[in-house]
Chain A
Amino acid sequence: MPIIDSLPTSLLSEPEANLNSLKTSIRNQALLILTELSSIRLDWKYTLLIGLVSPVSFLLLLSLFVKGDNEALTYIVSGNMVLTQVTGTMLSLGQEMGVLKEIRGFDYYSTLPISKMNLVIAHVTKATLLSMPSILMIWFLGNKVFYANITLTFSSIIILLLSGYTLSAIGAVIGTRARDAEQASVITQVVNPILTFCSPVFVPENYLPRWLNTISYLFSTRYVAAALRNSMSGTNDPFPIAMVLFFCLISIFLVNKFMDWRV
């Protein structure tokens, strides 16, 4: 053990880094993502189990009703992907933010040169990467077991990678504005089915009541589902993809604008 007096001057000689430079920001974001991903050291079995059981069982159940109907199967496959990737991410983000708020976990970050947006990006990136096995399993079952005529294309992958961010502002706001972790959990679980089932995610829009269909134009899930269906069935419609990008940007803007460490 060294005596305290032995602090080498070399430890202090480093010039002060520019904390606001782009290089520093990118490095800090990477460090936060790596830190978030460290959860798989202990939780990977449960993460995989939860990620597979829920969407796969849902897919198997729904597929029983639509045997051979390719359009319906496409809705079910893409809907399950939305459920996993979009609303699932919003759910976990809201709950994690709620816990951080309750235990004052944000205190660690407030004196570091990072924003809540950095934290949101780190969490969504983790959730997106960890849900990929589930997405692949859904596609595999849909395509190989139920013979749906769908292809996981490059554009499908890009849409899936972006889609988790489209509801990140909602998850972050619920988590940081809720009274505690329990309330954040309840609210996210109420919002989750609204965004999934009150929108043309699992069913075509003409199955929805007119008023519900109109409201669903405000939900990003509508556009993510449409973009996925199009890309997996080989249709090129840029509008839903543009809307997915628009919701990503809106989410980033809202989190940056309205979510300060200081409350």
Chain B
Amino acid sequence: MDKILKVIEICKKYKNAKVFANDHISFTIESGEILGLLGPNGAGKTTLVRQVSGNLLPTSGSILINNKNILTEKTIITSTISSMPQHVFGQRFLSCYEFVTRTGMLRGLSSKTAALQANWLLDIFSFQDQRKKLIWAMSGGEQRLTSFIATIIGFRRHIILDEPTNDLDPANRKTLWDLLKYLKEKLGLSILLVTHNTYEAEAAVDRVVIISEGKVLTEGSIAQLIDNSNLQTGFELKFTDDHIPSAEVLGLQNLEKLDRNRFFYSCARQEGADLLQRISAIDKKAIIEEFYYKKPSLSDIYLEAVKAGNNANN
């Protein structure tokens, strides 16, 4: 597979630190793929992406793009990677449009193409009315969106995004996810996405790598991780407050109590109708207020992986 980014056994230990911020981390991102990098605060995610985007030197290990080591061939980074900065400081006196087009030109676009791409991106986010606004005068969300658009312009093969949806309103968040999916499908861009928003990421990512305390806990597609986990599919039920279900209902095998009147029944999706009939047969007074099928989410996988990682370390 060409246009591939490989992170191989990366270790990073900061000066005077006792532990590694990244400890033998390896993964690959292929062309046309969105890889979610998840982990608790302080897990080493930002340290990792800052090494991939050329801001930090790894203590050991290598990062390859098309089998070329970015540590020795420095032009690889500037010609293939685009990374979203957390702050726009040096350019704060530029307008949104100036910042985006100049970033495109610094990536090698002609002024004409930079203008066309900038306008296309600003149109998508309905952001043209802010094009003349100076960055320092923008709200946090507007600055974030401007920074994201400046990251996308030039359509680099590998895009690195660290918490791109922070501070964005729901409409812009949706557009952002739609755009990322479009760019990976139509242009074959690969995207390394650091986020805490597992609910939004679930719909966008192809694979995830979950790290904690600098180490990879698990990786794979969401379906693979569900298959490999102890998480179960089933139905969540909520009984009305005015009737406590009978002991027979509460004694059903596979029924787990979540709180006072909320339960989870582990079973396959097609067993749902049977479950309802069984409960009404056992306890005719029991009234089910809510009943829905639930399968493990990326959030469940993440929580289970981190919990298992913590238990292993303790």
Contact = CB atoms under 8 A, between A and B. Distances in A.
Interface in B101-134: 102-103, 105-110, 113, 116-117, 120, 123-124, 126, 134
Interface stretch (A76-84, A111-119, A150-158, A229-237): A111-119
A2 interface: yes
A28 B87 contact: no
Given A4-B182, A261-B55, A11 B106 contact: no
Given A39-B93, A41-B134, A105-B89, A113 B78 contact: yes
B53 interface: yes
B179 interface: yes
Interface string B172-199: 0001001100100011000000000000
A218 to B, nearest CB: 29
B85 A7 contact: no
B56 interface: yes
Given A1-B126, A14-B113, A107-B53, A38 B106 contact: no
A38 B93 contact: yes
A112 B105 CA distance: 10
The 10 closest A-B pairs by CB, nearest first: A17-B108, A38-B93, A108-B85, A113-B78, A105-B89, A110-B54, A262-B57, A107-B85, A4-B182, A112-B106
A105 to B, nearest CB: 4
Interface of A: 1-2, 4-5, 7-8, 10-12, 14, 16-20, 24, 27-28, 31, 34-36, 38-39, 41-43, 99-100, 103-114, 119, 261-263
Interface string B152-180: 00011000000000000000000100110
Contacts of A4: 124, 175, 178-179, 182
Given A104-B85, A107-B50, A110-B53, A1 B124 contact: yes
A31 B106 contact: yes
B78 A42 contact: no
A16 B136 CA distance: 32
A12 B155 contact: yes
Interface in B49-108: 50, 53-57, 75, 77-79, 81-83, 85-91, 93-94, 98, 102-103, 105-108
Nearest to A20: B75
Contacts of A42: 93, 134, 136
Given A2-B123, A10-B116, A261-B55, A107 B86 contact: yes
A32 B53 CA distance: 20
B150 to A, nearest CB: 8
Residue with the highest number of chain A CB atoms closer than 10 Å, among B56, B89, B90, B126 = B90
A20 B74 CA distance: 11
A97 B189 CA distance: 33
B101 to A, nearest CB: 10
Highest count of chain B CB atoms <10 Å: which of A20, A99, A110: A110
Given A14-B110, A17-B108, A263-B57, 15 more contacts: A7-B182, A11-B113, A12-B187, A16-B108, A17-B109, A18-B108, A35-B94, A38-B94, A100-B89, A105-B89, A108-B85, A111-B83, A112-B107, A262-B54, A262-B57
A92 to B, nearest CB: 13
Nearest to A119: B90
A221 to B, nearest CB: 27
Contact of B120 (A11, A18, A19, A261): A11
A249 to B, nearest CB: 23
A117 to B, nearest CB: 14
B56 A263 contact: yes
Contact of B77 (A24, A38, A41, A111): A111
Contact of A261 (B54, B81, B186): B54
